[in-house]
Amino acid sequence: MSNAFTDLLAEKGTLLADGATGTNLFNMGLMSGDAPEMWNTDEPKKIIKLYRFAVDSGSDLFLTNSFGANASRLKLHGAEKRVHELSRVSAELAREVADTAERKVIVAGSVGPTGEIMEPVGTLTHSLAVEMFHETADGLKAGGADIGWLETISAPEEYRAAAEGFALAGLPWC
C-alpha cells in the first residue's frame, strides 16, 4: 500500500524523525501530571513552535502531540469527551507547519497505549479498545495526518485493536 510515508522513504532511502516530544514540552513549561494533549487547544503557539523546531532541525517526519489522546488517559483530566477534537487539532497544527515547509514533510499521528490492561487479565475489552483507537485515528485523519505512528504498545492484543481502529478510520499506520 502506497502512502506519503512509504513514498518518501522510497524516494530518500532514509528518513530523519523528530524526538523527545515530552522532554521538549516540559522544557516549554508543561508540568508533570498535566495532559500534553490539552496544549493543542490551550497553548497552540507552543505546539506549533515544537513542530517547527522538528522541521527546522531537518526532520522528514514529525509526531503530533497526541500520544495520550484516548478516552482512558484523557479521563484522568476530565477530557475523555475531547479525544477526537484534541487529536484533530494536533494534526491540524502539524499540517499547517508541514505545508509551509520548503520540502516534503510527513505528519505522523502519535498514538500510545490506552493505559488499560486488556482482558482477560484486565477489564479493557477488544471492542472498546478498537473504539478508542478508532476515535483517535479518525481525529488525526480529519486533521490531516499522513500516517498513524503507533508507539510503546507492548501487548499484542492492544496492538491488534489499534490496527483495527486505524483500519476503520482509513488511516495508514506503522
Closest C-alpha among 83, 112, 106 to residue 94: 106
Q: Is residue 174 part of a domain?
A: no
pTM of the model: 0.95
Q: Is residue 143 part of a domain?
A: yes
Mean pLDDT, rounded, for 40-66: 97
Side by side, the strands of the sheet bearing 106-111 are 61-63, 106-111, 147-150
Q: Is residue 163 part of a domain?
A: yes
Q: Is residue 116 part of a domain?
A: yes
Structural domain for 124, as ranges: 4-169
Which amino acid type is present at position 52?
R
The residues pairing with 150 across neighbouring beta strands, listed in sequence order, are 111
> Domain of 124: which CATH number?
3.20.20.330
The position carrying cell 500500500 is: 1
**Number of structural domains in the chain:** 1
Model confidence at 143, pLDDT cuts 50, 70, 90, reads very high
Mean pLDDT, rounded, for 113-130: 96
Q: Is residue 106 part of a domain?
A: yes
